[in-house]
């Protein structure tokens, strides 16, 4: 049993990780957040048997304050689940790493990765925000007391079940748009993509805390399929063919892409997320899709990692596969 703090524990993935930790019943879990959480429910600590409030209002601008908060709660494991899309989030995580290294109780740190291998060139992963993750890696490499690991779920399966199967992720379309009967694939469509459902990713993060030692990379992917196979899965469940178009990878790299109708609608409906409209959304989707096309999301090419799905096989409930998500979301009942 240990005390675990989740920074960004009220966010999309952070909340799922926090819930997964609570569900184990093995940890005293704290949610670090800038926000004041009103009417928060109490939890019973498995360490003391006493009720406690899990929310910690946190000042990420002060390293000294972070050290004080972590020390006060005797935190042993810090998990960061920030959305790493800006300098301020990056700087906050860097201060958290330094504070964890300075805190006498903290032994383990999981940075906000939750994607794929970032320490590669743009010829494999042309994703500008990876610089924020690389800054955290370089900071962790300087630490003297922390054991750390990077969690790779690959692509989140949730995107391929929206809107019928709604997880915590905000809607986006990658490659296939089942609701509109369309697909746009890079190259010849044979690029492979490893994937995890968000709740399973969170569950495996919690399970990773049970390991005596961590290798540098922990993966959680339950499925790896080619993009053409993904299209066939959708077609089988819809009971009809998609309109499939192919585009050169170099057009993705230039953000000169063919847009899926659902993404066009998303850019209009969520101006707070995409204040610059469709070009901003298109750039985000194009960069990630180019990473898939260039092999960044194919864990069959990954070496020196521990596959948590295999490590805990037969010991915990099986994770969702992409076949499960597609069927749940798009299966047509032909008997009606």
Give me the mean pLDDT over the 168-180 stretch: 91
Give me the mean pLDDT over the 311-335 stretch: 89
Structural domains in the chain plus CATH codes: 2-148 (3.40.50.720), 159-193+223-299+317-330 (3.90.25.10)
What are 30-61's pLDDT values in tens digits? 999 988 777 778 899 999 999 999 999 999 99
Helices (H), 179-330: 198-208, 227-238, 249-253, 261-269, 278-293, 308-311, 322-330
The whole-number pLDDT of residue 166 equals: 62
- pLDDT of 336 strictly over 60: no
Q: 334: pLDDT confidence band, cut at 50, 70 and 90?
A: very low
What are 227-285's pLDDT values in tens digits? 999 999 999 999 999 999 999 999 999 999 999 999 999 998 877 778 888 999 999 99
What are 211-221's pLDDT values in tens digits? 999 999 999 99
The whole-number pLDDT of residue 271 equals: 77
Taking CA atoms, 7 is separated from 1, 11, 119, in Å, by 19, 9, 23
- pLDDT of 185 strictly over 60: yes
Give me the mean pLDDT over the 149-172 stretch: 88
Q: 170: pLDDT confidence band, cut at 50, 70 and 90?
A: confident
Distance, CA of 175 to CA of 168 (rounded, Å): 20
- pLDDT of 206 strictly over 50: yes
Distance, CA of 201 to CA of 213 (rounded, Å): 19
Distance, CA of 31 to CA of 18 (rounded, Å): 7
* Residue corresponding to tokens 């009720």: 51
Report the share of the chain in percent with pLDDT over 90.
Answer: 86
Give me the mean pLDDT over the 131-150 stretch: 96
Q: 335: pLDDT confidence band, cut at 50, 70 and 90?
A: very low
Whether the bond into 87 is cis, omega within 30 of 0: no
What are 84-130's pLDDT values in tens digits? 989 999 999 999 999 999 999 999 999 999 999 999 999 999 999 99
Distance, CA of 75 to CA of 70 (rounded, Å): 5
Q: What is the average pLDDT value for the chain, to the nearest integer?
A: 93
């Amino acid at each position: 049993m240990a005390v675990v703090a989740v920074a960004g524990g009220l966010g999309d993935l952070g909340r799922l990780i926090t819930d997964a930790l609570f569900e184990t019943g093995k940890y005293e879990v704290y949610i670090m957040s800038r926000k004041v959480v009103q009417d928060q429910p109490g939890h019973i600590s498995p360490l003391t048997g006493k009720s406690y409030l899990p929310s910690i209002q946190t000042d990420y601008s002060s390293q000294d304050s972070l050290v004080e908060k972590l020390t006060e709660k005797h935190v042993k494991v810090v998990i960061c689940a920030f959305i790493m899309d800006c300098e301020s989030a990056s700087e906050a995580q860097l201060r958290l790493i330094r504070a964890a290294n300075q805190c006498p109780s903290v032994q383990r740190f999981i940075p906000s990765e939750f994607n794929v291998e970032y320490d590669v060139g743009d010829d494999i992963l042309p994703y500008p925000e990876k610089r924020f993750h690389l800054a955290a890696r370089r900071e962790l490499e300087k630490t003297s007391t922390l054991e750390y690991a990077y969690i790779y779920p690959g692509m989140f399966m949730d995107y391929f079940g929206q809107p019928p199967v709604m997880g915590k992720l905000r809607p986006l379309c990658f490659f296939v748009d089942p609701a509109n009967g369309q697909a746009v694939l890079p190259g010849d469509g044979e690029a492979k993509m490893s994937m995890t459902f968000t709740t399973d990713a969170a569950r495996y993060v919690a399970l990773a805390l049970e390991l005596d030692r961590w290798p540098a990379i922990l993966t959680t992917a339950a499925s790896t399929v080619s993009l053409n196979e993904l299209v066939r899965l959708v077609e089988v469940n819809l009971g009809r063919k998609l309109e499939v178009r192919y585009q050169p990878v170099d057009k993705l790299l230039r953000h000169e892409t063919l847009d899926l109708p659902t993404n066009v609608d998303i850019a209009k409906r969520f101006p707070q997320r995409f204040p610059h409209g469709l070009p901003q959304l298109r750039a985000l989707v194009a960069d990630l899709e180019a990473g898939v096309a260039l092999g960044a999301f194919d864990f069959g090419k990954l070496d020196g990692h521990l596959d948590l799905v295999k490590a805990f096989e037969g010991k915990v409930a099986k994770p969702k596969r992409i076949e499960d998500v597609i069927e749940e979301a798009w299966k047509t009942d032909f008997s009606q």
